[in-house]
Amino acid sequence: MGRGSNQLIASILVNAIYAMQGYPTWIVNNLLSPISIIILVTFISKGALIGEAIAGALITLFVGTGIMLQADLAHLKNDFKYQDMIVSSPTSAMTYMVGMALSNVIFIIPSLVVILVLAVIYIHASILAFVEVFMVLLLLYLFSVVLGFFLSTFTSDVMQSWSFTGILSLLMTTIAPVYYPITYIPLPYRYAFYLSPTTYAAEIIQNMLGYLPLSTMALALDWIVIIGLSIALFVVAIKKNKWREY
């Protein structure tokens, strides 16, 4: 394998494999958060919304781990001075960031497997629909990773990072209508939930799985918002990137 691959694997080892080995309770924590809401929504809806809830759990997993990346980066940079050791090594900023982003996907694999098993059992959709759902999830993950990078440039303390993570996770995956269709929210209040990008992603996914009918125009708008926000945040994050400080 090439040098770049070794550097990517190093990030995956540090921030995923070794983290899971060292503190396995994180795996349980990752799984419990979305599972608890699946249970809640399923029982309250008497089973009617189990499909939507499982789809929402997938959104939570990908968005949650993406946002968590900013806390991971801040923790390694500020508490362990680990990033300083890497800055002065042959690893480039891009390789480190891509490696860290990949590490957080690896970190959710155990939870992903459990939720995918539930999805196969309870969501009756075509394979093509599942593929499309994963494309949306991937885009949503990229958005949340970029958001994480962007926020990590503002934080210098891990306590502050954790508070950002908590607030954003709540706003984007618990309060936003990702575990149920937005049509359950009364109309005057519904517009407020469109402030969260996950609302657009949930609409796309729920539409693909047959839970939420949407016009072509509404669907196109959802895609434009998600892609547009991701690109805008990516540009800002690149500009504010502090690998070698000035």
Partner 1 sequence: METLVCKNITKSYEKGKKALDRLSFSVPAKGILAVIGRNGAGKTTLMRILATELMPSSGTATMNGIDVVKDAVKMREMIAVLPQESRAVNWMTPLQTILSYLMYRGMDYSEAREKAHEALAGIGMTKLEKTLNSKLSGGQKRKVLVASILASDAPIIFVDEPTTGLDPISRSELWDMLKRLKKTHFVFLTTHYLEEAEKLADTICIIDEGKLKGIGTLGEIRKLVKYQYSIKILEKGKKVKINEGEEVTGEDGFAQIMTTEKEADRLSSRFIKEKVRFSINPMSLEDIFYYVVKKPINAEEEAKDYGTWF
Torsion of CA 7, 9, 14, 17, to 10 degrees: 180
Torsion of CA 90, 96, 102, 108, to 10 degrees: 120
Minimum CB–partner distance for residue 87 and partner 1 (Å) = 5
Residues from 7 through 46 that contact partner 1 (CB under 8 A): 7, 9-11, 13-14, 18-19, 21-23
239 scored as a contact of partner 1 (CB under 8 A): no
Angle (CA) 217 219 223, round 5°: 115
Options 37, 53, 57, 76; binder of partner 1; rule CB under 8 A: 76
Options 25, 90, 186, 191; binder of partner 1; rule CB under 8 A: 90
244 scored as a contact of partner 1 (CB under 8 A): yes
Angle (CA) 223 224 225, round 5°: 90
85 scored as a contact of partner 1 (CB under 8 A): yes
Which of 21/216 has CB closer to partner 1?
A: 21
6 scored as a contact of partner 1 (CB under 8 A): yes
Contact 141, 65 (CB under 8 A): yes
Maximal CA-CA distance, the chain = 57
Minimum CB–partner distance for residue 9 and partner 1 (Å) = 6
Minimum CB–partner distance for residue 62 and partner 1 (Å) = 23
Which positions ≥6 away from 160 have C-beta within 8 Å?
A: 74
Reduced to 3 states (helix: H, G, I; strand: E, B; else coil), residue 124 is coil
116 scored as a contact of partner 1 (CB under 8 A): no
Note the residues at the interface with partner 1 (CB under 8 A). 1, 3, 6-7, 9-11, 13-14, 18-19, 21-23, 76, 79-82, 84-92, 96, 244-246
